[in-house]
Amino acid sequence: MDLGLSGRIVIVTGGASNLGRAIALGFAKEGARAVIADVDDAQAKKVEREAPSGTIVARHTDVTDWDSVRSTVDFVESSMGRVDVLVNCAGWTIDRLFMEKPRAEWEREIAIDVWGFINCVRAVLDKMVERRYGRIVSIGSEAGRMGEWREAVYSGTKASVIAMSKSIAREVGKHGITLNVVCPGLIVGSPETSGSNSVWSSEQAEKFTPEVREKAAKGYPLRRLGTADDVVPAVLLLASDRASYITGQTLSVSGGYTMI
C-alpha cells in the first residue's frame, strides 16, 4: 500500500534511539523528511547518517523546555516550509516499585512524558490549524491502558497522553487535524541503537536478561516480545492520509497483551 508519505515533513521526538530511531528511519524509507528532535546529539547524528542523504535532520531539542521545542518547530517551519506530522516518541521510565522510587524519577517521567507531549503538540497546532492539515501520532504504552506493575507513575503519564489526545482530537478535528495513540507492550531496546540518555543504556537494560525476557514473553498471546519494527507500520499508517478518518483512537501493538 502506498501511504503517500513522500515529501511529508515529520518531527519525531526522541528519534535518536530505539523505537524513535526506527520510526524516523521508517519515514525516511517512505520518502518523507524526518527531523529528529532529541537531546542526544551524537546518537541523532548517527541516525542521520544511516538514512539516505537529506531525509533525516538532527535537531537538538529538549521536549521538557518550551523554548527549546518552539525553536525546533520554528526551524522546521522556516527551513522546510511546514510540519505535516508530529510523532511524540520521547519518553522515559525506570521500572521500579512505587514505594521504592525516588521523587527525582517521578518528576523526570512527568516532565518528559506529559510536559513533552503538551509542549510539542501546542507548538505545532497553530500552523496546522492555519493550513487545515496535520497528523499527530503519540507513543503511549499498554501501561497507560491497564496500570502496569512497577510502573505506577509511568502508567499515569501514558494514560494522560491517551486522554489528552482524545480531548484535543475533538477540539481540532474540524481543522483537518487528527490525533491518535499507538500503545506498544514491552519492547526491549538494544545497546547498539541506544544513546547515552536512553533508558536502555542504564540499569534498566541489565534487568532484562534472556531469562527475564523469556518469562515476560509468556504473558503475550503471540508468545514473543515486540520489536521496534513491529510498531513502525502502525505509526506510518496513522500519520498518512490512508487514516484520514481515524482520530482520537488508541491502537495497541502488543501481541495481544491487553485486548482492550
Q: Which residues pair with 87 in a beta bridge?
A: 12, 137
DSSP symbol at 55: S
Tell me which residues are annotated as active site: 154
What contacts 189, CB < 8 A, 6 or more positions away?
17, 18, 19, 198, 199, 200, 205
Cell of 34: 524526518
Chain centre distance of CA 7: 21
- Closest of 166, 139, 145, 124 to residue 230, by C-alpha: 139
180, 244 contact by CB (below 8 A): no
**Which region holds residue 249: left if phi is over 0, alpha if psi is between -120 and 50, else beta?**
beta
What Å distances lie between residue 198 and 17, 25, 192, CA to CA? 7, 18, 11
Compute the distance between CA of residue 116 and CA of residue 205 in angstroms, rounded to an integer.
Answer: 23
In 3-state terms, what secondary structure has residue 107?
helix
Q: Cα–Cα distance between 87 and 114 in angstroms, integer?
A: 14
